[in-house]
């Protein structure tokens, strides 16, 4: 009986001690978890945070070196800009001049070009080059060839050719004379093609150069009452796409810039169906993007050899960025290309995406394939 009583007593004691042991066990688990948390905090503060700070520092250094490299790429480069008397061409002249480029400004009006030179060379805070002036009419193929010879005689070679000059058009197809169609094509297509062909041999000889063409979103989408203009820009797009593939072997870049509406005098100076001046600032043009912003994008396209702009419209959608990938072209040619961000009006367009675009009262659907930049070789 005594033995049974002792066992019973032990059971009672164990039951009484159970809550105390459970509390002790819970407290131990709590301190262990708390210790693990403190250890994780120590590891995070001593390892992960410095690692993140280091990554941010490396990225910042990379961006700084990239910016220095970009400036060095434009510094002292010979840049030819057509249509430099106003609009986007004039703004391009300002940003390239500020970047230290040796400019050759081209246009039909010498007085306005000289005025631009005075504006560029006045109150410059740093060392820059005084621009050269060459006057000619893109619509006259003979003067274009002579102008190219004058440019090469003046500066010896061309690093960057920016085919910016152009003319717009407003009218119906049925009322537009063929002479007007030809005039628009001469200025927007045959002129840039003739100038490019005249400059190209000097680039091939050096195995270096960049040809930039300011096209339009209407080189991708044709809209009513712009037939002559859209046709000239479609032809421009096709020609320089072909040129890009052919020039890869010579390490010459070709970039087509296809902006939407820009606030310039393009609509004011547009021709109508009978060849007369349109003389009206369209609402879409007046509400378009600032020409100075677009000029900065063109500068960035030239500073980054593998960078391409297509249907441009958003400010620095890239942190200066570019995305390179191998692109199998429809003609079977493969090249290392830059796939740009793309947009019309205020809609970002991705490659191959079907997009609805509102232009005036006209809504269009189009399946887009982006213009590709050129290979990376520098």
In 82-221, DSSP assigns E strands to 102-107, 132-135, 160-163, 210-214
- Matching residue, tokens 């394939």: 369
CA distance linking residue 319 with residue 300, whole number of Å: 11
Cβ(177)–Cβ(227) under 8 Å? no
Cβ(263)–Cβ(285) under 8 Å? yes
Taking the C-alpha atoms of 42, 48, 52 and 53 in order, what is their torsion angle to the nearest 10 degrees?
30
For residue 340, the SS3 value is coil
φ, ψ at 332 (rounded to 5°): 90, -5
Query: Which helix (H) or strand (E) is 25 found in, with range?
Result: helix 2-43
Taking the C-alpha atoms of 279, 285, 287 and 290 in order, what is their torsion angle to the nearest 10 degrees?
-110
CB within 8 Å of 138: residues ≥ 6 apart: 82, 144, 165, 186, 187, 191, 192, 195
CA distance linking residue 315 with residue 264, whole number of Å: 18
Burial (CB count within 10 angstroms: exposed 0-12, middle 13-18, buried 19+), residue 215: buried
Active site residue 229: yes
The number of C-alpha atoms within 13 Å of 216 and in the hemisphere containing its C-beta is: 28
For the chain, state the CA radius of gyration: 32
229, 261, 307, 341: the catalytic one is: 229
Per DSSP, 370 falls in state P
CA distance linking residue 63 with residue 57, whole number of Å: 10
Q: How many angstroms separate the Cα of 249 from the Cα of each of 163, 203, 252, 334, 372?
A: 22, 12, 8, 12, 16
- Paired tokens of 128: 């820059």
Active-site amino acid positions? 229
């Amino acid at each position: 009986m005594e033995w049974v009583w002792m066992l019973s007593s032990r059971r009672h004691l164990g039951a009484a001690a159970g809550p105390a042991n459970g509390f002790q066990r819970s407290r131990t688990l709590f301190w262990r978890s708390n210790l693990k948390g403190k250890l994780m905090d120590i590891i995070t503060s001593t390892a992960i945070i410095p690692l993140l700070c280091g990554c941010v520092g490396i990225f910042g250094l990379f961006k700084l070196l990239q910016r220095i490299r970009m400036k060095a790429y434009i510094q002292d480069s010979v840049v030819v800009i057509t249509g430099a008397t106003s609009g986007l061409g004039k703004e391009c002249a300002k940003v390239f001049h500020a970047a230290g480029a040796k400019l050759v400004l081209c246009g039909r009006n010498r007085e306005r070009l000289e005025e631009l030179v005075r504006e560029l060379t006045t109150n410059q805070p740093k060392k820059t080059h005084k621009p050269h002036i060459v006057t000619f009419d893109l619509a006259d193929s003979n003067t274009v060839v002579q102008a190219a010879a004058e440019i090469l005689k003046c500066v010896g070679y061309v690093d960057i050719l920016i085919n910016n000059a152009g003319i717009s058009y407003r009218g119906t197809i049925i009322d537009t004379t063929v002479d007007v169609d030809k005039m628009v094509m001469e200025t927007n297509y045959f002129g840039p093609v003739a100038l490019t062909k005249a400059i190209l041999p000097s680039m091939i000889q050096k195995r270096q150069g960049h040809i930039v063409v300011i096209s339009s979103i209407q080189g991708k989408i044709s809209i009513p009452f712009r037939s002559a203009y859209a046709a000239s820009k479609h032809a421009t797009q096709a020609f320089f796409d072909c040129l890009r593939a052919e020039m890869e072997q010579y390490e010459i870049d070709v970039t087509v810039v296809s902006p939407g509406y820009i606030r310039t005098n393009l609509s004011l100076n547009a021709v109508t169906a009978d060849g007369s001046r349109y003389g009206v600032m369209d609402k879409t043009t007046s509400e378009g993007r600032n020409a100075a912003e677009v000029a900065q994008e063109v500068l960035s396209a030239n500073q980054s050899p593998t960078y391409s702009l297509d249907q441009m419209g958003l400010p620095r959608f890239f942190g200066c960025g570019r995305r390179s990938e191998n692109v199998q072209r429809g003609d079977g040619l493969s090249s290392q290309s830059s796939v740009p961000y793309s947009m019309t009006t205020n809609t970002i367009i991705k490659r191959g995406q079907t997009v609805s675009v509102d232009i005036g009262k006209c809504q269009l659907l189009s399946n887009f394939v982006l213009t590709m930049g050129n290979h990376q070789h520098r």
